[in-house]
Structure formats: C-alpha cells, structure tokens
Chain A
Amino acid sequence: MNWFRDYLLPRGGATHAGDVDGLFMFIIYLTIFFFFFNGALIFYAVKRWRRRSDREVTPHITHDTRLELIWSFIPLVVVMLVFFWGFKGYVRAWVAPNDSIEIVATGKKWVWQFEYPDGTRTLNDLHVPVNKPVKLVLHSEDVIHSFYVPGFRLKRDAIPGRYTELWFTATEPGVQQVFCAEYCGKGHSDMLARIFVDTPEQYETFLREGDEQVRKMPLKDLGQLVYENKGCATCHSLDGTRGQGPSWKGIWGKVHTGTDGKQYTVDANYIRQSILQPQAVVVQGFEPIMPTFQGLLREREISGLIEFIKSQE
C-alpha cells in the first residue's frame, strides 16, 4: 500500500520521517476501519430493524456491563499504543546529536534568514549537507512564525524573545520546501524558503564561495552585502561622519598618515592589509581597535569590499 502513503504524504527526506509515516498510516487504517465498522453497524441496524408497524415493541435493554467494559477497554489499549508510538518519535526528534552543524534561523515578516557557523548568511535558501545532523536555532524578530518542512515532517515555532530548536538529518540530496506555518499577516503565505540538501562536494563549494545567489552577485553588491552583514558598518560610515573608524567616503586613492608617521595611499593592497592585519598600519587619530578578519572573509568578498570602497565617492 505504498501508493496510498505516497498519495497522502510528501516524500520523506529526513531520518525520522519514516517513524512519523508509520504511525500516520497506522492511524489512517484505524480511522478507515472504524468509520466503516460504525457505518456498517448503523447500516445493518437500519436494514434489519427498520420500523414496519407503529405497534412494534422493542426489548428494554438498559445496559450490558460486560459489553461496555469491552468497548471502553479496546479503545483504551489502542490509544495508549498510539500515545507511546507518537511519544517515541517525538523523543527521537528531541535532542540533537553533539556533532550537529548549528545554524541560526531567524524569521521576520516575511523572510527566513540563516546564519552558518562560519558567519555566512543566506536569505530564504538554507544549505545543509546530506547525511549530517543539522541543528536549527530558531527565533523571530517580530511576531511568531513557524518553520515547517513537510518533507522532514518537522515544524517548530520561531518566537520573539526566546530560542527554540529543531534538528534533522537529511537523507537525500535535493530541494525541500519550507513554509511558515504560524499566521503572521499579509505575507504569511509567501514566507517560503527552500532547503538545499547538498552532496558533501556541493556543500564544500557553498561554504567556500557562498550560495549561487552570492556567486552570481556583482562584486560591488557583494561588497555592500559584506559591509552590512559583517559588522564593518558599525565602525565605518559611508557619509563622512567619523565613527570608531574612519569613514569610507572618498578615501579611495587618498593618502593617509599612519601612527608610525609614514604615508600610505589607499589602494587595493592597502585595503586588503587593513582588513587582514589591521594593526600593521593604524590611521592617525584612531585607536587600534579594528578586529582582524583573517579567515572570516572569502577571497571574493575581499575583492567585493575593495570595489565597494572604490565606489564611495
């Protein structure tokens, strides 16, 4: 009866989907059985004891303790079985293994944002490796949302002001649909995301070069994305105001004096060094507080930043 299961449920793509499906189908058969059982009893009673004359006399049967015990006991056994089955599946899906990849998923009207352990961020597209446990830490920036992956048989609310968790091990490469399942207003039904279950090689490429969206982005736009997402914006302004660090407005090609008294022209190599070894040259009048981004930025992202700074006139 696999066709029936495949008709009712989307193809299972995570380790515990099979568990859920087994119970689901068990209750389906239970429901169908009791529906037809009750239906047959009613049908039989009506056929057999349809009133033929108004003078018919019926037996005065007030109860039957044995029968009543039987039909209380059988449902009790059945529902306890269903309870334990459901509980078992739930427990298994409860604690994430220690070696899970931890990804933070943030819901906000009406997008899903993902942040990976290396700081990479993606919007509405989540990349995970196949056959590796992944733990999602969910939260919301506005109202309650719910992260729902039908193919994984998983769902958990993303709640403002607290963290909830969800974990899975995807079993086959491909794409899984993600829905927002908690009503969140106008864009609720468009708050969709996709999970790309990658082969190990695809996942490597993703970590090295970003997802396809990022790979196709023009350098300057990528630079702006990094500027906003990797914290440069907290210290560097674009409009000339002095922050903790110098503004980037119009610095390309200018000559800056370092605390060592030497003169430096702001060019590609200088910027590259400033990002990777910020303490090598410290601009006069500023504290040496800029953290190094060595190992935190991809090659292409650094090139993007250079393009972006170049464009700030």
Chain B
Amino acid sequence: MSEAITHNGIGHAAHHADYLEDPKGLWSWLTTLDHKRIGLMYLWSVLTFFLAGGIFALLIRLELLTPKQTIMTAEQYNRVFTLHGTIMVFLVIIPAIPAALGNFVLPLLLGAKDVAFPRLNLASLYVYWTGALMALSTLLLGGVDTGWTFYTPYSTTTGGGVTMMVLAAFTLGFSSIFTGVNFITTIHKLRAPGMGWFEMPLFCWGMYSTALIQVLATPVLGITLLLLVMERVLGVGIFDPQLGGDPVLFQHFFWFYSHPAVYIMILPGMAVISEIIPTFSKKTIFGYKAIAFSSVAIALLGFLVWAHHMFVAGMSLFAGAIFSFLTFFIAIPSAIKVFNWIATMWRGSISLEAPMLYAMAFLLIFTIGGLTGLFLAALSTDVHLHDTYFVVSHFHYVMAGTSLFALLAGIHYWWPKMFGRMYSNKLAPLACALVFIGFNATFLPQFVLGSRGMPRRYYNYLPQFQDLHVASTVGSWILAAGLFLAAAYLLASFRGPKNAPANPWGGRTLEWETTSPPTTHNFEGQPVLQHGPYDYRANPAPVGVHEHSH
C-alpha cells in the first residue's frame, strides 16, 4: 500500500453533520443521491411490505387451522396466498439485502463515497415504488389468483388483475437490474486504493454474484412476462394450447429466471453471514477464496438447473437426469460455505452479541434448508414430494428463513452504523429464540404434511392433516411474537441518544473506521486499505482514515 494514494481527502470534513441530519427535510430525502439514504428508504419500504406479506401469511395459517372454511372463502384464500408470495418474493426478499443493506454498506465496505451511478440508484428506488403501487393496485382490480408463479394457461384465462400484477413484476425487475448494474460497476471501479479483489470483504463477493444474476436473468423474466401480457391482452398464442401455444414453455422461461432468483435471495444472506462470523469470532475468515468462489459458483450453476422444478411436467428421461445431476452440484459450494463458517468460529474468541445469535440461527436454518433440497433434487423422491407442503417448507427454509435471519443479523450488525444508536441487548436473545422456535414450529410440521401427501395451495384439506396444520399455525404466532419483540427493542433505540461508537463490535472492515453514523461522504478523505478485511493479528498496522498527513 503506497503512501502516495492516501492524500486526497477533503480537509474541512469535520464540519459535516451525519448523513441522517444533513441536509434535513423530506424533500432532501426524496431527491437524495446518497446511497445510505437510498438504502434506508429501501429498508423501510421492504420492512413495510414484510409486515404486509407477513399479515397475509398469518391469515393463510389461520384459514388452515380447520380443514374446511375458517375465516375466508376459497376465492379469497387463493388471492391471499398469491399476494403473500408475490409481495414476499418481489417486494421483500429480492430487494431486502442487496437494495437495502447492500446499498448502505457496499460503498462503505469498499471505502467509496457512493455507488458508481447514484442517480440510477435513486431511479431504482422510484421504479421499485412504482412497481409496488402497481402490485397493490391489483387489489382494486379484483385481485389475482394465479400464485406468484403465474403458470399458464391458468394465468392467461383467469379473471382479475393478472395483467397489472405481471406488469408490476416486470417493473420491479428493472429496479433489480438497476441495482445489479450499479453494484457490478461499483465493485469494479470504486474499491479503495490497495484493495485488490481478494482484499474485498466477502459481502462484496456475495453482492457481485447476486448482481450477476440480477443482470443476466431478470431480462428473461421481463420478456416472459411481456409475452404473457401479449397473450392475455392481444390473444397472441404463445403459451395457451387453445391458441396454438405451449404451456410448458412458460415454465421453462419462468424458472430460467426464477431458479437463479432463488440465489438472488440466498447469496446476499450468505454475504452478511460472512461478515458477522469473523467479527464476533475475532478471527480471520477461514477459506476466504473458497467462500468467494463458491458464491460465484452458486450464481453460475444456478443458471443450469431450472428444469428441476418440472420433473413431473412430462420432460424426457434424459433431460430429467441432466437437470437432477447438475442440481446436486449446488450442494458442494453450499456445504463448503457452512464448513468454512464453522471453521472460522473454531479457536476463535466468540462473543454472543445479537448479530452473532441471528447468524448462528442462520447456519442451522440453512443446514436444514440445504439438506432437504436433496429430496427434491433426487428424481424418484421429487416425484412424490413435488408440489406438496414439503416443497413449501423447503423453500421457506432456504429463501424465507435464511433471508429473514440474515436480514435480522445484518440489521442488528449495522444498526449502530446506520442510526448511531445501540439497541437493548437484553431482549435480543429472547427475540432471536422466539423467531427461531417459531420458524421451526411453523415449518417442520409442513415437511411431514408434505411427505404424507398434502398438496400445496389447498384451501380445504382432509381431516387427517389437521394436527400438523394446527401445530404450524401456532408456530406462526410464536414467529410473529418474536418479530414484534425485535421490532420493539430496535425502534425503542430511537428514544436514546446517538451514542454508538464508530466500531462497537471490533470489526476490521472499512465501514467501522468512519463515524457512526457516517457523514454524507462516508469517510473524511480517501481511506486506504492497511490490512485485509478480517485481519485480527496482534498489533496490526495502524488503520483507518487518513486526513492530510502533511
């Protein structure tokens, strides 16, 4: 690290207030180009939709308390689970970590002032809001009852606001692409002097892999959804056999995006965990390159396995074999990551603060989610389990559970940096335990429901399934209680003073070297990397922000 590049700071930075205060006013937020503010606005939006999607989830669970009608009609039920799925996938999980946390921390981790294209960043937020409004407007258009997968020819023939919902997903895709383009460029161009690719925090590798998928796969979804709209509105026969189309073609197109999209949902979570575990183990990450490359491997392999969603849709034996075979390879980088994280804790100095608790819960949830994927990758067992509650449970573990725990871990980790405040550490273990127990109580019974033959998206069910449904519904209440508790103590921290130190956890990455919360330009001057991101060796070289040193 040469000394020469350390001298380009802005000397009068001390006069700047933190980014939350400077400048003030709603308008300044709505027109801001600051990645931190955009990240926060994303965060609050995502959390709001998470609340909405969560309420729909609770309604679904309540309806399933009894085998026949409990609180709503079949038509309402179908609309509610569609809204739950669409909101959670497109409005919550996909943007949650990249657009909310990623926006906030990525430039800080890289030692940059902002992302590469701040205006594009703001545009992505507005596109997101537009898409969200479009999605919600379907409520006024008679609702949508297709499920978030929009399978044809059901989706091209049913009534309601399907066209609007599909256009909403199309629009939301653009906000995702904007974020992806921005992150790729930022990582290529704005790394601090001295930060080579392998000195980047692993979060950045996770974001990079995610962004690759966002940029490469989302256009396919966009095209598919447009074709769907053309069929619905103009009657062009593409998917509907009545019009000479092929309904299975839609599934290929849809999963060509949506399978990689599953990794848009999990890779960012893994990225967060890769930051938290070294910090709270006070030990360098074990197998940096293995973790970095396994993210890229998962992203790339993710493009080759889409048809494992279609083993019972009449595909050929050969195609089935190929897609099953390739799917199993995803297990390897996933296993590598888990073992690397555990090895990082090994002989560490482990402190069980809130972020670490959530991260450990993530490890266990991901273990279950990953291993239950084997049932569905294997051809003969998938035939039995496909489209049952087993699948519902599996993808809630790998997409919802991991995203949830990683998001909570990340929020707890960066909360002091985002808001300059510490939250009560007393309630965090209780909340984490409730969320963990609630999540497992909700979804473990669903594995058994599925293996016993209960299909998904069922409004009525046979009485023999009731016990397990009741257990699952009770679990959803515990889960909700845990989340409300976490929200309560996090929000309560706003009543206290801004007392967070710059580096409350002893992290070694660059975001901890600026104030909490940071100033608008992140750092006073250009930070220069003095050591690797997880270097906890004794007496490391002095680090941090270098102002004019002459």
Q: Do A and B come from one complex?
A: yes
**Which residues of the partner chain B approach A88 to less than 8 Å between Cβ atoms?**
380
Nearest CB on B from A88, distance (A): 7
Q: Is B225 an interface residue (CB 8 A)?
A: no
Instruction: Judge whether A86 and B381 touch: CB under 8 Å.
Output: yes
- A12-54 contacts to B (CB < 8 Å): 16, 19-20, 23-24, 27, 30-31, 34-35, 38-39, 41-42, 45-46, 49-52, 54
Report how far A229 CA is from B367 CA in the complex, Å.
Answer: 54
Instruction: Judge whether B371 and A87 touch: CB under 8 Å.
Output: no
Q: Given A49-B347, A160-B241: A181 and B386 within 8 A (CB)?
A: yes
Instruction: Judge whether B345 and A188 touch: CB under 8 Å.
Output: no
Instruction: Judge whether B379 and A87 touch: CB under 8 Å.
Output: yes
Instruction: Judge whether B387 and A182 touch: CB under 8 Å.
Output: yes
The stretch among A145-153, A200-208, A267-275 that forms the contact with chain B is A145-153
**Which residues of the partner chain A approach B382 to less than 8 Å between Cβ atoms?**
86
Nearest CB on B from A283, distance (A): 39
Instruction: Judge whether B284 and A60 touch: CB under 8 Å.
Output: yes
**Which residues of the partner chain B approach A261 to less than 8 Å between Cβ atoms?**
none
Q: Given A60-B537, A183-B147: A27 and B457 within 8 A (CB)?
A: no
- The answer, among A62, A90, A148, for a CB contact under 8 Å with B286, is A62
Instruction: Judge whether A45 and B287 touch: CB under 8 Å.
Output: no
Report how far A59 CA is from B153 CA in the complex, Å.
Answer: 59
Instruction: Judge whether A8 and B287 touch: CB under 8 Å.
Output: no
**Which residues of the partner chain B approach A266 to less than 8 Å between Cβ atoms?**
none
Instruction: Judge whether A35 and B371 touch: CB under 8 Å.
Output: yes
Q: Given A35-B371, A90-B383: A42 and B345 within 8 A (CB)?
A: yes
Instruction: Judge whether A58 and B371 touch: CB under 8 Å.
Output: no
Q: Is A186 an interface residue (CB 8 A)?
A: yes
Report how far A27 CA is from B377 CA in the complex, Å.
Answer: 11
The stretch among A64-72, A216-224, A286-294, A304-312 that forms the contact with chain B is A64-72
Nearest CB on A from B285, distance (A): 8
Instruction: Judge whether A143 and B290 touch: CB under 8 Å.
Output: no
A138-159 toward B: CB 8 Å interface, digit per residue (1/0)?
0000111010101101111101
Instruction: Judge whether A190 and B460 touch: CB under 8 Å.
Output: yes
Q: Is B191 an interface residue (CB 8 A)?
A: no
Q: Is B424 an interface residue (CB 8 A)?
A: no
The stretch among B4-12, B32-40, B328-336, B488-496 that forms the contact with chain A is B328-336
Q: Is A180 an interface residue (CB 8 A)?
A: yes
Nearest CB on A from B367, distance (A): 5
- A56-83 contacts to B (CB < 8 Å): 56-64, 67-68, 71-72, 75-76, 79-80, 82-83
- Count of B interface residues, CB-CB < 8 Å: 90
Instruction: Judge whether A58 and B335 touch: CB under 8 Å.
Output: no
Q: Is A93 an interface residue (CB 8 A)?
A: yes
Q: Given A38-B342, A49-B348, A82-B374: A63 and B383 within 8 A (CB)?
A: no
Q: Is A240 an interface residue (CB 8 A)?
A: no
Instruction: Judge whether A86 and B380 touch: CB under 8 Å.
Output: yes
Q: Given A61-B286, A83-B378, A144-B247: A188 and B458 within 8 A (CB)?
A: yes
Q: Is A184 an interface residue (CB 8 A)?
A: yes
Q: Is A94 an interface residue (CB 8 A)?
A: yes
Complex: chain B residue closest to A109, CB-CB = B154
**Which residues of the partner chain B approach A7 to less than 8 Å between Cβ atoms?**
448
Q: Is A263 an interface residue (CB 8 A)?
A: no
Complex: chain B residue closest to A138, CB-CB = B314
Nearest CB on A from B200, distance (A): 15
Q: Given A51-B282, A160-B153: A186 and B380 within 8 A (CB)?
A: no
- Of B283, B286, B381, the most chain A CB neighbours within 10 A belong to B381
**Which residues of the partner chain B approach A189 to less than 8 Å between Cβ atoms?**
74, 455, 457-461
Instruction: Judge whether A87 and B349 touch: CB under 8 Å.
Output: no
- Of A30, A80, A188, the most chain B CB neighbours within 10 A belong to A188
**Which residues of the partner chain B approach A31 to less than 8 Å between Cβ atoms?**
368, 371-372, 374
- The answer, among A20, A30, A86, for a CB contact under 8 Å with B324, is A86
Nearest CB on A from B359, distance (A): 10
Complex: chain B residue closest to A19, CB-CB = B380
Instruction: Judge whether A30 and B383 touch: CB under 8 Å.
Output: no
Q: Is A161 an interface residue (CB 8 A)?
A: yes
Report how far A234 CA is from B189 CA in the complex, Å.
Answer: 74
Instruction: Judge whether A76 and B347 touch: CB under 8 Å.
Output: no
Q: Given A57-B538, A59-B347: A20 and B364 within 8 A (CB)?
A: no
Nearest CB on A from B151, distance (A): 6
Report how far A297 CA is from B372 CA in the complex, Å.
Answer: 52
Instruction: Judge whether B154 and A58 touch: CB under 8 Å.
Output: no
Complex: chain A residue closest to B75, CB-CB = A186
Known A-B contacts: A42-B363, A156-B312, A159-B313. Give 15 more (CB < 8 A).
A20-B384, A27-B371, A45-B345, A45-B346, A49-B281, A49-B345, A49-B348, A58-B284, A86-B379, A88-B380, A89-B381, A153-B383, A155-B386, A161-B247, A185-B145
Interface residues of B (CB under 8 A from A): 74-75, 78, 145, 147, 151, 153-154, 157-158, 241-242, 246-248, 281-290, 311-314, 317, 320-321, 324-325, 328-329, 331-332, 335-336, 338-340, 342-343, 345-352, 360, 363-364, 367-368, 371-372, 374-375, 377-384, 386-388, 448, 451-453, 455-462, 506, 535-538
Interface residues of A (CB under 8 A from B): 7-10, 16, 19-20, 23-24, 27, 30-31, 34-35, 38-39, 41-42, 45-46, 49-52, 54, 56-64, 67-68, 71-72, 75-76, 79-80, 82-83, 85-91, 93-94, 142-144, 146, 148, 150-151, 153-157, 159-162, 164, 177, 179-190
Closest 5 CB pairs of A and B: A150-B453, A86-B378, A161-B241, A89-B380, A90-B379
28 A–B contacts, CB within 8 A, in A order: A20-B383, A34-B367, A38-B342, A49-B281, A49-B348, A50-B352, A54-B506, A59-B283, A60-B283, A61-B347, A62-B286, A71-B336, A72-B335, A75-B335, A79-B329, A79-B377, A82-B328, A82-B378, A83-B325, A88-B380, A91-B317, A143-B153, A144-B154, A155-B383, A181-B386, A181-B387, A185-B78, A185-B158
